[in-house]
Amino acid sequence: MRFSPEPRISCNDRGMTPTEVSSTTTALPFAEHLERWKGLIYPGSNAQKHFQPHNGSLIAELPSCARSDVEEAFALARSAQLIWAKRPLRERTALVRRFHDLILDHDSVLLDVVQTETGKSRASAFDEVADIALNSRYYANSARRHLAPRRRQGALPFVTSAKEYYCPKGVVGMITPWNYPLTLPITDALPALLAGNAIVLKPDAQAPFSALAAISLLVDAGLPKDLFQVVLGDGPLVGGAIIDNADFVMFTGSTATGKIVAEACGRRLIGFAAELGGKNPMIVLDDAPLDRALQGALAASFSNAGQLCVSIERLYVQDTIYDTFVPAFREAVNNIKLGTALDFSYDMGCLISQEQLDKVVGHVQDAVAHGATVLAGGSARPDIAPFAFEPTLLENVTEAMALCRGETFGPVVSLYRFSTDDEAVALANDTRYGLNASVWGSRKRAQAVAKRIEAGSVNVNEGFTASWASTDAPMGGFKESGVGRRHGREGIVKFTNPQAVATQRWMNIAPLPGMSSGTFASTMVKGLKLLKFLPGRD
């Protein structure tokens, strides 16, 4: 069963009746799966209601865990992990390959779930399905290469051999946000599982169903019982319990919360990785392919209604093309279609919650009050959905405005002029964040600018998809945008404890019988001088 299609609504079309919001349960396209998904959650003593953001109707009630529930979930995961770690890697990779196929076979249900609990467009929901497929294929094919023991250079040539092994951390605690509720829990869990770990996951309370739907497919692919625990409940309570019991923590969320997580992990001396906030810049040079840059700016700025850590919020256009590019961009933004139906009939959905809407409205109103000019959008659209907001372009943004440096995390982009490449680089880098950036121009010139940007990923002639989808390349933040990396070798090795095993043959690293310590030292000095010519090992 599907919701009936809704009309395509232009940002300039305001002649609609406001959506009525209720707390009743509407017909869900995935209702037949709900009971099974609920069974994947560690049972708690309380219940919490979960609503649809695009109409306010009830999806379901799910159990809410206490601290003792989280501790019991960790105990089950630890027991399962000891068995899982002994299974050959080929069995683990085979499971992930089966999961890859199941994700693609069940894409329609997954898209319905993501849209229902987030309000995003179907195109943005499909990004999540595609991302899981890319990551599962990549790690299933590359895990053996990344985790294979590596020969290392021993202390003394010929008599010392050394190998590096990768031991699983144990139980990985994961805390994930609401904006990408399908891909973020799963694409980090896959390398952790392949490395031999168990998982205890706390998905965001606003969007837990997507992760549950995907985990049910992992179970269908052969995931052992108890290896992947899901706990729901109060963020500080359940999240704190995860940090207190995990052997490694993977966190995705705001920079402010990331600092709290880092401090808590530091007290326990456990490792953690975190992808945090961003105030990402796009630079359009005067030799850029303008039609492509225009489409790229739309996608990079308004995918998932701007609720994306790597989305563009600052757009710098060279002054020689500014008066050509900006009017065309403004027209394109005004033609973005808003909607809430579970289909591909529109371009952008709504925001996740009243809290997020209030933040976006507050940023725009504050900017206008301090002199910013609204070129497009700028208003909430309750006629479309309770938390819908128009894609918005602002000019004349200054330091007096909260959104100048603060992350809006919504469909709002500030436009700026620049004259030279050096000025563009300086403006792009003038932020405490450094997650993603985009540079448009002729290839060599844009690449030269890109290498000067202080960001963990920089896309040349793309917004964010090229770097995000390059699963063999590391993805993460500079400065206050994160610690550690996901994707690539770093994305799986971080879930292991590297162990060095060195074997000494024939003689000890010590004076030979009858040799004085002084003679041994002088002999070693001569040997060390020769060793500088020994080639290193990657």
Residue 460 vs residues 48, 130, 260, 444: alpha-carbon distances, Å: 44, 21, 34, 10
* Inter-residue contact 65 to 233 (CB < 8 Å): yes
Among residues 99, 127, 425, 66, which one has the least CA distance to residue 303? 127
Q: What's the number of CA atoms in the CB half-sphere (13 Å) around residue 350? A: 31
Kindly state the helix (H) or strand (E) to which residue 129 belongs, with its residue range: helix 122-147
How many Cα atoms are found within 13 Å in the side-chain-facing hemisphere of 329?
31
Q: Any catalytic annotation for residue 275?
A: yes
- The active-site residue, picked from 117, 275, 462, 480, is 275
List, in sequence order, the alpha helices (H) in 39-88.
67-84
169 near 248, Cβ under 8 Å?
yes
158 CB-near residues (< 8 Å, 6+ apart): none
Q: What beta strand segments (E) does 223-288 contain?
A: 228-230, 248-252, 271-275, 280-284
Q: Reduce the DSSP state of residue 343 to 3 states and report it.
A: coil
Q: Which one from 309, 350, 390, 462 is the annotated catalytic residue?
A: 309
Q: Is 404 a catalytic residue?
A: no
In this structure, what token pair is assigned to residue 523? Answer: 């002999």
Tokens (6 digits) for 454: 């202080």
Helices (H), 195-318: 209-221, 235-245, 255-268, 290-302
Distance CA 300, CA 412 (A): 11
Q: Which residues pair with 340 in a beta bridge?
A: none
Output DSSP code: residue 32: G
Residues 6+ apart with CB under 8 A from 147: 89, 166, 194, 195, 492, 493, 496
Residue positions annotated with a catalytic role: 275, 309
